[in-house]
Amino acid sequence: MKLVTLEGAETFIDDPLISGFKDSVQCEVLSQGESGYNESRVIYNGMFDIKPALIVRTITVDDVVKTVNFARDNNILLAVKGGGHSVAGKCLSPGGITIDLRLMNGVYVDPEARIARVGGGTLLGEMDKATQAYGLAAPSGIVSDTGVAGLTLGAGFGWIRAKYGLSIDNLLSVNIVTADGQFRHASASENEDLFWAVRGGSGNFGVVTTFEFRLHPVGPELMFSGPMYPAENAKTIITKWREFMMGAPDEFSSMVIMMTVPELDTFPKEIQGRDAIMLGGVHCGSVEEGEKFIKPLREFGELLFDLSGPKKYTEIQSMFDSPLPQGSLICYFTSLYLETFNDEVVDTLIESFGKRPAKLVPFVVQDLRGASMRVRSQKTAFGERSAPYLLEINSAWLDPKDSESNIAWTRENMDKFKSFSSGRTYLNHSGLNEEGEALVKRTYGSNYERLRQIKKKYDPGNLFRLNQNIPPA
């Protein structure tokens, strides 16, 4: 069988060796043409048509260990797929081996201890459903079919961030298969270096088979803020939101969502297709408190529509899901931490928003104040947390012919904000990783060298390289 090596060259592996590997695992090992192969390689970003030589749909830790050993011993390019939301398509290995963890999606909740153990292939919606059965939640992201794994290993920004922090701030331990094929437990008291590194260090250190999270009482109903204003009034609305957020308590996490109103039944026909500014937010207190708190946000001007109201946490967690099947949208998402959101930034943002060619996903500005910002940058590998805003310039379209111009437009427009930023990016949201090591180094800052040392200890051959790669020291 022809496979691609870690260095990107072609190699041939004898059929008996491949058969031996297939016989050694308990799960399906799929190649092109086999039933399930195409389903398994569908990912969120429809830009890619990546064909791994083998997709290993692991169901046990032992399957993961055997696959890691096989890839390492034969020097084969290895990818790890959780929820498949990597915009850069790094969860699939072109011509190599992909570990698809999707079947390892069990969620075990201990409501007394307020802990959840979550399989490496679990989606956010699956985790939320299981934890909300007990009125509990672990902070995660805002789109329910995102993978817990990729999101958590990169940080995890979501609707209860200001109150409870990022996903990594609530991670208690991981079970992980490292490049030497060892199954390890990493926590604050065991393999502490590895535990530090996986909290923000992306998929560099091994295959996480279980995440253990601290849970918090959340909902089941919370007040959602969703007033939508016409984009013509963007300047007034955004600056008022900025002032309002200066005094907001940790209970309230919020973001400006700059969108074209989609053609969905949720919205009246007459506003579909119009550009709008939504002041999205979730209040973690009682619904009554939340309603009172968000009232001013709903009175900043004449409304286009208002999605505000008490909603189940699980409903809020899927409000921004795409109505299209995975792989339909072609997308390029970028981000930048902003040191300021002054009037010049607001004006530049509104101008870019008005001219954007690809309108199927929103631009977003998150106010990062609250619990997640108070964690020291050395505490987790994720690094510096001093920037008060995260800007996301996102583009999505349907026709592959538009890809080149839309990517170029998005890059150019993001560049306009660089002088308002230290140049750090949310690595889970960083285009197609085209900046490579320079961006990774800049983003991890003073944590970078330590990450390289830990990478050397656990993955000296850089087996796990299809990610925001940290080269071993």
Ligand X SMILES: Cc1cc2nc3c(=O)[nH]c(=O)nc-3n(C[C@H](O)[C@H](O)[C@H](O)COP(=O)(O)OP(=O)(O)OC[C@H]3O[C@@H](n4cnc5c(N)ncnc54)[C@H](O)[C@@H]3O)c2cc1C
Q: Name the minimum Å distance from CB 467 to ligand X.
A: 3
- Report the amino acid identity of residue 362: P
Query: Treating both helix axes as pointing N-terminal to C-terminal, what angle do 343-355 and 234-246 enclose, rounded to 10 degrees?
Result: 140
**HSE-CB for 404 with a 13 A CA cutoff:** 1
Of residues 369 and 429, the one with the C-beta less far from ligand X: 429
Of residues 81 and 424, the one with the C-beta less far from ligand X: 81
Of residues 85 and 424, the one with the C-beta less far from ligand X: 85
Between CA 58 and CA 6 the distance in angstroms is: 21
Concatenated DSSP letters of 161-197? HHHH--GGGGEEEEEEE-TTS-EEEEETTBSHHHHHH
Of residues 204 and 413, the one with the C-beta less far from ligand X: 204
Of residues 195 and 300, the one with the C-beta less far from ligand X: 195
CA 347 to chain centre: 28
Q: Name the minimum Å distance from CB 121 to ligand X.
A: 7
Q: Which residues bind ligand X (CB under 6 A)?
A: 44, 80-87, 90-91, 101, 120, 141-143, 146-147, 149-151, 153-158, 202-203, 207-208, 428-429, 466-467
Q: Where are the alpha helices (DSSP H) in 263-308?
A: 287-294
Of residues 332 and 341, the one with the C-beta less far from ligand X: 332
Q: Name the minimum Å distance from CB 146 to ligand X.
A: 5
Q: Name the minimum Å distance from CB 135 to ligand X.
A: 22
Q: Name the minimum Å distance from CB 112 to ligand X.
A: 27
Of residues 156 and 219, the one with the C-beta less far from ligand X: 156
Of residues 90 and 385, the one with the C-beta less far from ligand X: 90
Query: Treating both helix axes as pointing N-terminal to C-terminal, what angle do 15-24 and 61-73 enclose, rounded to 10 degrees?
Result: 160
DSSP 8-state symbol, 199: T
β-pairing, 54-57 with 28-30?
antiparallel
Burial profile 363-388: b = 16 or more Cβ within 10 angstroms, e = fewer: bbbbbbbbbbbebeeeebbbbbbebb
Cβ–Cβ under 8 Å, residues 128 and 105: no
Q: Name the minimum Å distance from CB 5 to ligand X.
A: 18
Measuring CA to CA, which residue among 46, 50, 129, 36 is closest to residue 85?
Answer: 46
Q: Name the minimum Å distance from CB 15 to ligand X.
A: 29
Cβ–Cβ under 8 Å, residues 318 and 140: no
Between CA 242 and CA 256 the distance in angstroms is: 9
Residues 6+ apart with CB under 8 A from 398: 328, 329, 330, 360
Q: Name the minimum Å distance from CB 390 to ligand X.
A: 9
Of residues 41 and 429, the one with the C-beta less far from ligand X: 429
Between CA 244 and CA 157 the distance in angstroms is: 21
